[in-house]
Amino acid sequence: MNPESTPGRHPVVVIGAGLAGLAVALHLADRVPVIVLAKRQLDEGATAWAQGGIVGVLGSDDSIESHVHDTLDAGAGLVDEDTARFIAERSADAVRWLVESGVPFSADPEGPLGLHLTREGGHTVRRIAHAADATGKAIHDALLERARRHPGVTLRERCMAVDLITHRHVRRAAHAAAGGAHDGRHNDDPTVRRCFGVYALDIDRRRVETLAASAVVLATGGVGKVYRYTSNPDTATGDGIAMAWRAGCRVGNMEFIQFHPTCLYHPQERSFLITEALRGEGAQLLLPSTGPGDAGGQRFMAAHDPRGELAPRDIVARAIDFEMKKHGLDHVWLDATPIVRDKGEEFLKSHFPTVHARCLARGIDIARQPIPVVPAAHYTCGGVVTDLDGRTDLPGLYAVGETTYTGLHGANRLASNSLLECVVLGRSCAEAILAKPAAPVPVLPPWDESQVEDADEQVVIAHNWDELRLVMWNYVGIVRTTKRLERALHRIKLLRDEIDDYYANFRVTRDLLELRNLVECAELIVQSALHRHESRGLHFSRDFPQSLPVSFPTVLTRPARSREG
């Protein structure tokens, strides 16, 4: 522990070791001890997969107002302008902090801070700082190294949060110790509601630990793995959203799942994202040829939006989906050869080395031939409702990053705002935790598995996982209908009953916990979509194809007497 840290204070437990979690941890660690939990290896989160970059209002041709305008425009009327402004105003400091932390951004001696800035869809100017086409990995590697060296940070791999420990667990244990029956009433007395820690599964030791905490921070990322096709890593199972919901927190805008327009279409590569920055530098979307005299080789984006390939992601994804269905295609082409023609092959290879190498390994030379691409679930624009300090509805519980709904992303996230949100709100969350005196933590009840046994087979988990993801892909995808959503909800509830029964009778494993969280999030997505009787941003309904004149976020509140895990 750092000698300046507060004596006797319980550690802050940060669940998630991506950019959001590490930003919080590093801003806390000089003052309080921090434990960071990673359910897999420390480098397996979504941050390391991010290719494009991070927004910084840095150039002389840029301004806070311009960035806010672009964010509002992309968010289709549901962005909270105060949130967008708060984050835009701190974007330059966020990039400077990363530079000072050792992130090797691509350089340009004539650029602001000596950085090369690129442009992505929805942005009116170049304002994206990047490290070639592997920005997330460069950021994550630098911050993870800082965290490893910091004496106030404890990093724990293969340690997965099971559930938050709240006043309800403490009260249940007190009732049981006193021999009284717990009837579930008075669980939500606002004077005693609080998060006191987390139950965490040590995967290698197969033991659930009780971790007391002065504060808990959810930084677990999004819920992309609820869909059959996604650009997300296997860690994206909505753990933080599901845990917060079970603990009584509100969630917002869960219907807005961003489908990235361009994921590589290849039988050996189902999750490799083709960065939007390729289109920012001039790559074009084309129709493949299906026979003589067809529209093969033609661009199609101009028919959908005057901005063409640089339209926001929701528009580009729907356009690709429309063209694939119209022409009976399995994919469309993303042609990067115009970049070679205008800027040279060396420019393409040096600015997009990851995409070039990955595609070349699959027999696709992007300097000479188009890339087959399809849309895939990419980003969760909704999540746990928080303020700009990461506070949730439950005292002692904070959340940062893709796990949250802050109002920044509205109905569609503007490219490269996600990494920025993690850095800016990671710092404000840490400052809020440090500014609040630590509340006393009672003796917490240990995890009770006296009534469960080891599962005799894993086929139930595997089958339910596959069924859930297929239902979500077929019924709750880019284009939706009320009937499809109702069918999805019916199937999800049946799956949830089966999963809850399995959870109640067998010892927990990572696969079971992830499936439990996914089915919880799937129901939240569908319920939110059913509440929105319009098409807006990432939510497009054939039954309600028009946008309403005035629209509001979708906020769901858990019934007070619902069972907590």
Q: Which of 479, 259, 274 is nearest to 373 (CA)?
A: 274
Cβ distance 482 to 527 under 8 Å? no
Q: Which of 145, 134, 47 is nearest to 101 (CA)?
A: 145
Annotate 292-323 with DSSP letters as a single string.
Answer: TTSSTT-B-GGGT-TTGGGS-HHHHHHHHHHH
Cα–Cα dist 478/283, whole Å: 23
Q: In DSSP terms, which residues pair with 55 in a beta bridge? A: 128
Task: Please identify which of the residues 119, 127, 156, 313 carries the catalytic annotation.
Answer: 313
**Please, which residues have CB within 8 angstroms of residue 130's CB and are 6 or more apart in sequence?**
52, 53, 54, 105, 106, 116, 118, 277
Burial profile 208-245: b = 16 or more Cβ within 10 angstroms, e = fewer: bbbbbbbbbbbbbbbbbbbbbbbbbbebbbbbbbbbbb
DSSP tag of 250? -
Task: Determine how many CB atoms are found less than 10 A away from the CB of residue 494.
Answer: 12
Residue type, 246: R
**318 counts as catalytic:** no
Structure tokens at 120: 């992505």
Active site residue ranges? 313
